[in-house]
Amino acid sequence: MSDVARLAGVSIKTVSRVVNDEPAVHPDTAERVVAAIEQLGFRRNLGARNLRRGSTTGTIGLIVEDVGNPFYSELNRAVERIATSFGRHVLTGSSEENSDRERELALEFCARRVDGILVVPAGMQHGYLVPEMRAGTPVVFLDRPAGDIVADTVLVDNLGGTIDAVTHLVRHGHRRIAFLGDSPDIFTAAERLRGFREGCVRNGVSYDESLVVMRTPTPETIAHAVATLLSGPSAATAVIAGNNRVAVHLLRALAHAEHRPAMVSFDDFELADLLDPPVTVVAHDVSALGHAAAELLFARIQGDQSAPRKVVLPVHLVARGSGEVTP
Amino acid sequence: MSDVARLAGVSIKTVSRVVNDEPAVHPDTAERVVAAIEQLGFRRNLGARNLRRGSTTGTIGLIVEDVGNPFYSELNRAVERIATSFGRHVLTGSSEENSDRERELALEFCARRVDGILVVPAGMQHGYLVPEMRAGTPVVFLDRPAGDIVADTVLVDNLGGTIDAVTHLVRHGHRRIAFLGDSPDIFTAAERLRGFREGCVRNGVSYDESLVVMRTPTPETIAHAVATLLSGPSAATAVIAGNNRVAVHLLRALAHAEHRPAMVSFDDFELADLLDPPVTVVAHDVSALGHAAAELLFARIQGDQSAPRKVVLPVHLVARGSGEVTP
DNA sequence: CGCCACTATGACAACGTTGTCTCCTCATGG
DNA sequence: CCATGAGGAGACAACGTTGTCATAGTGGCG
């Protein structure tokens, strides 16, 4: 900036005025300054500006498990849309389902003075965020609740959705239903399992623990589960996939079976409707989740001091055929 | 920081020393400072730190068309992985295929003093980046080349891949092949069309412009193209989808046809192998694209001053069945 | 006992901006 | 002809850090 000032033959303050479109600069002076800026390729340093003005950085942090997962990237997109409408940018990070990494990212974002943070928490302990929140960085949890603090949270109806899935399958005559979920350490997985049990109870089907597998989905774990639960004479006739990755691996494991069992997937996924038979899903609006959380965060950023809110978004079962397969 | 200093009864500089793990601080003093930091919930302001030290912000910018598109989110993930290994964070932005927005994002990132920028360009004019690059912000273009400047670029072999697709279809007896591409304003779309033409010529098939549609893929545009090119007595017997979104819309448009024409998709996509018949694709390693570009960017960040590089990554045809359908 | 080396600490400036205050000039009107 | 005021511009401090240098105290050694 001082280079520009020197070249234009004005004071550094006048350059600042021009850069900020402040009035009371003589047009001729402004022109000289603009020319100098052009010539030197000057661009003002936003960091210094924010420091001096005490203004915010215009950035929010988003921590998800994996930005590459379509579920989270859709979330990312929804958040970005709201952020853009508020003139903010988004700093993203993948926690890789690792609570240390989550914490590291969150604290790093705080040190960068983001205006607020959206977290899909990997861990169950969030005391480390209390000082930051007290210091004025709002935090909204989404998809999963905070571990041991009270904070704004936006969830989907995991329990109800899974109950619906069970009900749907039972209505189509299934009595032996398997449940393949992600690791029970993950809130949504545990909650959906709870829904599965509750669904069995409500529908008068005995809840059979031997038909449940809760493990991080990989081609191997799912293939093993299929071999155990979905084959042989006592095989389940229907299966509920606890999330989109379970569903995809499950479909792949079943690709060469002569007969695919009835199936419902929690989480919709692209092309589910084009498979044969199409896959019935418990769909939830991921964009809505991101929107709701981001809107809430921006309300906090703009000074909303009301009590922490907990929002639960509805889900709905989309019957596509795979749940109707006769037992 | 001065609050901490006051509470601990030391100077602000000593707090700084403690925060930075500098030696030559008496353990007792350090302990008092740490206690004060804890009590006040102090976290150092990275913006101020970077300003003072003249160090970089530890952030790189990534501009893609749409962070929600699985293609770009995989790219995002790959970039993030490299960035993390270099201790950097990623600021992402969606250009929405709009060159003004791309420019806005890029200049905003520069003003924030990112260490470097990765761009999947939407526009064809990048002169606006010249001052920034000259000022020391490295820029690497990926998936598409820069418009009117010379810069580092990482591409995939669009031309060769499409030629392979045509060859594959011709070998399976097809002579009337349709090509559905994205808007010809997009480099990759234009390049793949060029590959289609070249593939026709090389395989002795007449290139028939009436079998080509180049439009932004939406359910409507694709349905219309299907109605025009893939029905009736003079219908094409095979079709090449110019990218993953074309492919998905195409599959949906064809879902209720009694017979799906032979098909090859440029870009692999999830579940392509599980459709009936599975979809033959021209696959390219999106992660490799992100890795290569990010590695190149960090080489520049670390001072590599060599001439701008142009990298073209190979693609390979994955035959899955849909290309083998008899005409 | 005086000097030196070393440890622990603080004062101060500077990073690149911008807010506040001041100063100068020139036109206007009484 | 002078008071007034508006318009234009600069000096200076401050934002929250850290690098540089200075200083005070301590202990060892000749």
CA B312 – CA B111 distance, rounded (Å)? 31
Is A71 within 8 Å of chain B by CB?
A: no
Q: Give the per-residue SS3 of B255-292.
A: CCCCCCCEEEEECCCCCHHHCCCCCEEEECCHHHHHHH
Instruction: Write the pLDDT tens digit of every residue in B250-259.
Output: 999 998 888 8
Q: What angle do CA B74, B137, A52 make, to 5 degrees?
A: 105
pLDDT score of A240:
97
Q: Which nucleotide is nearest to A46 (CA to C1')?
A: C17
- Tell me which residues of chain A, numbers 83 to 102, contact chain B at a CB-CB cutoff of 8 Å: 89-94
B173 and B180 in contact (C-beta within 8 Å)?
no
User: Taking the C1' atom of C7, which residue's CA lies nearest?
Assistant: B24
pLDDT score of A325:
65
CA B189 – CA B243 distance, rounded (Å)? 8
In chain A, which residues from 21 to 50 place their CB closer than 7 Å to nucleic acid strand C? 42-45, 48-49
pLDDT in tens, chain A (327 residues): 999 999 999 999 999 999 999 888 889 999 999 999 999 999 999 999 999 999 899 999 999 999 999 999 999 999 999 999 999 999 999 999 999 999 999 999 999 999 999 999 999 999 999 999 999 999 999 999 998 999 999 999 999 999 999 999 999 999 999 999 999 999 999 999 999 999 999 999 999 999 999 999 999 999 999 999 998 888 899 999 999 999 999 999 998 888 889 999 999 999 999 998 899 999 999 999 999 999 999 999 999 999 999 999 999 999 998 777 655
Is A273 within 8 Å of chain B by CB?
A: yes
Lowest mean pLDDT among A318-322, B6-10, B238-242: A318-322
Phi then psi dihedrals of residue B12, to 5 deg: -60, -35
Instruction: Write the pLDDT tens digit of every residue in B31-63.
Output: 999 999 999 999 999 999 999 999 899 999 999
* Average pLDDT of every residue of chain B: 94
pLDDT score of A326:
59
CA B206 – CA B137 distance, rounded (Å)? 47
Phi then psi dihedrals of residue A104, to 5 deg: -60, -45
What is the pTM assigned to this prediction?
Answer: 0.93
A222 and A194 in contact (C-beta within 8 Å)?
no
CA B34 – CA B49 distance, rounded (Å)? 19
A32 and A9 in contact (C-beta within 8 Å)?
yes
CA B322 – CA B145 distance, rounded (Å)? 31
pLDDT score of A327:
55
CA-nearest of A156, A236, A250, A253 to A200 is: A236
A20 in contact with nucleic chain C (CB within 7 A): yes
Q: Which nucleotide is nearest to B25 (CA to C1')?
A: C8
Q: Which two tokens stand for residue B195?
A: 């590959």
pLDDT score of A257:
84
CB atoms within 10 A of CB B234: 9
In chain A, which residues have their Cβ closer than 8 Å to the Cβ of B274? Answer: 251-252, 255, 275
CA B20 – CA B26 distance, rounded (Å)? 14
A315 and A164 in contact (C-beta within 8 Å)?
yes
Lowest mean pLDDT among A287-296, B21-30, B147-156: B21-30
pLDDT score of B327:
55
pLDDT score of B131:
94
User: Taking the C1' atom of C16, which residue's CA lies nearest?
Assistant: A48
pLDDT score of B326:
58
A57 and A50 in contact (C-beta within 8 Å)?
yes
Helix (H) or strand (E) segment spanning residue B94: strand B89-94
- pLDDT at residue B101 tops 70: yes
- pLDDT at residue B196 tops 90: yes
User: B268 to chain A, minimum CA–CA distance in Å?
Assistant: 13
Q: What angle do CA A64, A65, A68 make, to 5 degrees?
A: 90
pLDDT score of A260:
86
pLDDT score of A276:
84
pLDDT score of B260:
86
